[in-house]
Amino acid sequence: MGGIALGVAALIVVLSVMNGFQKEVRDRMLSVLSHVEVFDVTGTLANWQTTAGEAQKNPAVIGAAPYVEAQALIVREDVMRGVVLRGIMPAEEPKVSDVAKKIKGGSLDDLRDGEFNIILGAELARGLHVRKGDKVTLAAPEGQLTPAGMVPRLKAFNVVAVFEAGHQEFDAGLAFIHINDAEKFFRQNGPSGLRLRLNDMLKAPQVSRELGRSLKGDLIARDWSQQNSNYFAAVKIEKTMMFIILSLIIAVAAFNLVSTLVMTVTDKQADIAILRTLGASPWSIMKIFMIQGSLVGFLGAGLGVAIGLSLALNVDVIVPFIERLLGIQFLNKEVYFISTVPSDVRSGEVWVIGMIAIVLAFLATLYPSWRAARVKPAEALRYE
């Protein structure tokens, strides 16, 4: 019973912590990313207002905003970095992302048309050694032809703020400018596409397929899970493997249950023989040991669920206590951008884990029960 309880509790705690990390990373990514992006195959979405109106006819879409996105080089003195430059409308961006809440020392309103202001990720700003009020130079990927040959197109931008999403990829490689400045800098005649926000981000794959069918024109809809498919696929595989590995703890406990019942059957052969002589059928004998083993599995699974839920729901209290007790820090914020161990308990997974434990315990009773039913009274009582 203790072995089954330990396996169930360990599985619940580990999966809950993995769910918590996945949710934390996903939420930080979606503070910068949109739930769904719509773009034209030509590279520019000229009449974005019409497309936004059509998209918002879908009841799941609650916000829409245009954007321009392209890669560029950002230079400060002798330091050079590659950056994803995103042009946004400051008034519309809060409808589709939480970037405004992540900005330090300024706001999206500082991105004014024609002033060529820029907001950098915190890690990017640290790498370039710049702060608010400094200037950086951006180099467009496409140069301009001059009598001296092809030269890069350069433009100076004023750093008006930094943002910190808490995700290395965005904090170190993303910057925001005004959409009109972006169109001028990249020489585009319209936004690159449209960013959409949904009332439920988990419905993004379904909504993106619906929009792909309903929107007019040669448009492509892409949801947030497709933009980061490699990451989420890796997390899914890792979670599945951890589930399988930790399920082996329950399997070992079930194997121990088999050995325990086999020893019980061997020890109780005389009692089984007496029951048989009193008229008990083989099926009745089987039921005794099946009920015993199933009860052990049920109580072990119940105890494991109780312990697992108690630990998983209080990880935010237990982990800091252990850190203070041992004088260590499991997660360094400078390395992981997160200082606490998150936990996300999902009832569906808890039910599955509990049922697996009960089913394995029941299966473990079949062989010992079958052996008990095969005991022959005459042979068992011969030397009694």
Contact call for residues 338 and 231 (beta carbons, < 8 A)? no
Helical residues (DSSP H) of 120-228, grouped into ranges:
122-128, 168-171, 179-186, 204-214, 224-227
pLDDT at position 370 is 86
Taking the chain, what is the end-to-end CA distance rounded to the nearest angstrom?
32
d(CA 125, CA 162): 7
For 141, counting Cβ atoms within 10 Å of its Cβ (0-12 exposed, 13-18 middle, 19+ buried), the class is exposed
Contact call for residues 353 and 305 (beta carbons, < 8 A)? yes
> What are the pLDDT digits (tens) for 247-283?
888 888 888 888 888 888 878 778 888 888 888 888 8
Instruction: Work out the pLDDT band at 222, boundaries 50, 70, 90.
Output: confident
Beta bridge partners of 119: 161, 176
> What are the pLDDT digits (tens) for 41-57?
777 887 888 888 888 88
The contacts found for 283-287 with CB under 8 angstroms, 24 or more apart, are: 283/373, 285/369, 285/372, 285/373, 285/375, 286/369, 286/370, 286/372, 286/373, 287/369
- Three-state DSSP string of 317-339: HHHHHHHHHHCCCCCCHHHHCCC
Is 60 exceeded by the pLDDT of residue 335?
Answer: no
Is 60 exceeded by the pLDDT of residue 383?
Answer: no
d(CA 341, CA 16): 10
Contact call for residues 183 and 189 (beta carbons, < 8 A)? yes
d(CA 362, CA 38): 52
d(CA 365, CA 62): 55
Instruction: Work out the pLDDT band at 97, boundaries 50, 70, 90.
Output: confident
Give the residue from 193, 184, 228, 229 showing the smallest Cα distance to 211. Answer: 193
Q: Provide mean pLDDT across the span 340-363.
A: 86
Output Rg (C-alpha) for the chain, integer angstroms: 31
> What are the pLDDT digits (tens) for 303-315?
999 999 999 888 8
d(CA 339, CA 333): 5
Specify the DSSP class assigned to residue 384.
-
Specify the DSSP class assigned to residue 189.
S
In Å, how far are 47, 62, 339 from 211, measured between CA atoms? 16, 14, 39
Is 60 exceeded by the pLDDT of residue 100?
Answer: yes
